[in-house]
Amino acid sequence: MGFDAFYVGGGNTQEMLELWAELKVDQILKAGFDKGMICAGLSAGAICWFEYGYSDSTRFDNPDDENLILLKALGFVEGLFSSHHIREPQRNKQLTQILREVPGQKAYAVDDNAAVIVRDGVVSVMSSKSGVGVSVYKNNNGKVDIKKLPLTKC
């Protein structure tokens, strides 16, 4: 492994994860992660590193489908990742609904132009645009609490 980072772009998360499992790419990524390589990406490329992702993969077959699906991802980072929250407001409602069924689960709702950084288990947030960021959704005994995370000062 003669490199320092893995970067994954966006796309069909479900298809990507299935293909990676079939081709054993997931094992290569895990070996790199375990050696301390940086794992980064956007949209599907961010979802993949978490335990679970909330994905619009069904839109690739049906562009009018606004429903999101819960996917089991690689599991390198604890929690659930959901992208595009500022531009697709239906994601907030759907994420809240699914978390009501998953006691104790924590989800990161991420706006476009915002990033979740996890280093040694510590979460920080960065943004390249004013007014965007990351919220954490958590199921507390059937009630979903939402907390906006502060931006990390650079």
Catalytically active residues, by annotation:
43, 84
Kindly report the number of other CB atoms within 10 A of residue 152's CB atom. 12
Q: Give me the amino acid identity at 53.
A: G
Query: Rounded to an integer, what distance in angstroms lies between the CA atom of residue 32 and that of residue 38?
Result: 8
**Angle at 27 (CA atoms; ends 95, 45), nearest 5 degrees:** 35
Give dist(CA 21, CA 84) in Å, integer: 25
